[in-house]
Structure 1
């Protein structure tokens, strides 16, 4: 039975149950009238009391629709019905079927202060019926009445305890329902706030994405086009001072190659693709070519070494390490005044390390102004690239003792 069905069935029994119990009492009392020694006068009085009980029950059914709990009217009607039930039971013990209604209706029709009184009187009526009728005849009957009355009082105490527990449970359920209502309201407010916050986060994420894309394009232009243009300018300067036509033609070809390479990098940067050097080769081959071309272009001795077991890296990891190497070599040619540069790519278990060392004039890393959050280039750009793929960049340098740069990134394999 559900919680909603219980009040409906109880209301149905409150309305029609007393009629049914009174009918059972009339039938059983009528059949036993001779056996219990009812006189004609007692039968007429019992009939009158039955009629009054019916009228009372009709009035009760109408009045009960107007109240939702114990009040003065319900208390008066309860004790009037008890008096009718007691009188009928005195005349014939079988009318106790009707008097028993006092047990289950006391909690809903009497205040808590009068409930025990109502139950006590109902127990008195039931005890008189159970010993064969009131009043007891003789000492033995009075002793039996006392025992039966005590048993009924025990039942009253038990029923009252059950009733108190039921009321407490109902009160607790009401509090839980009220608390659930408050919780649901708070949850709805939280959902509304989360929806607003989600919309705000989407706007911020969109703005952050635009800013990140701008920084990416700026870094790509710096690492590719700007470096390529620098190389072209250097080659053209050599052409301008070339002693003969063959030397000039050689440097013009190098400038043309750099121009084509920079154009390809520009197109790929716009489409966020891998660097040109990685289009056909893996990272070790791309680094080897990059170091060799840089050394030939700058005239600086450059060496490239691979250690560990070669792994096919994810495109983003390969592109990041290649860009860091290109920027490190560019810095070495522009600032270090180095005579020798070494580049090492190491595969070490779950990470990849790129080391770039030169024997140039070095610098004080603490004296280099940080441009955190500006999206700058040089060391800041290399560090940002490494951190973007959960890596790190370390720089060791000292004036007059060269520079060592080490980029460590997770080894993420190329997706098949």
Structure 2
């Protein structure tokens, strides 16, 4: 039995989208109503639509506080002088609180970034690596809140974070304005892999009592230190290079990266002063401040010890802390890049520590997202420049109280 169906009249096929609303009627003698604004391509870009990147810099500030208070100052103040026990206890509690806040924020940030990477235009290989490595590091960090992490798990999260950092750096090197930060990220990842190899050799040498393995451990540790020092120097260069970036079609043409900038010079000078104070802190007549510098920077020295003068090791440790602070105080044009630069330097000497591995994962994911959305990057740059210009210039067009208009 056939059903009788009323067919529509011949004409254009109906559209699946709803009919647009008729425009408002123009009143006689009045102006035409304003057209509804349409979102631009930059506004629809993934980076501009991800507010999670705006939280990278505040999270990096928490990481810096946790490192300064909990990792450097609190252990260095124990037994430093008579009568500072209460101050040392207060600093220890502040460092523990900052570490807990950073752990909570970093876990949430890592989950959000993994979700953003999965939905982005990042290559599928890097998406899979972000899901696997990021999820594994998050699980170990959650486990670390209950009990001590086993040595094997600590080594695995360090390797996972380093591999993800290398993949993100390789992806970001194709974008000109990302190359300084990407180079620093890749060097940190390579240094972490080499140093963890040195730790494995040191364990084997200790178990077997082999002098040959002990010598190989020193060589590997020295190579890891060289990569680490180069990463810190590249990060110091990135402080000034990121502020000179321009889009490809901008006038005048985009300049190349500046190897020397006021920020990099300030970082080097501050690191030299801190190194001098730390070296003087080993003497018997050292002041309390010099002894504090020496104890604090000793906490940043890597193990196994490289075959490098101690002064050079202290200088690299001091320079890394100064660059982290400057990256947050005077970040590149996109604050998320300053936060990523700070996080990867916070993790440089401890990728096997759960929070260090999580910091490196967050920095890698942030760099990967920024490198895959150049339109959103420049939209954020131009919007920030417009805000700075509008706040710096006098208000134009506002009526003057005397009856005129301000120029």
* Alignment TM class, shorter chain as reference: under 0.3
**What is the TM-score when the length of structure 1 is the normalising length?**
0.26
**What is the TM-score when the length of structure 2 is the normalising length?**
0.26
Greater per-residue helix proportion: 1
Higher RCO (C-alpha under 8 Å, 6+ residues apart): 2
**Between Structure 1 and Structure 2, whose CA radius of gyration is higher?**
1
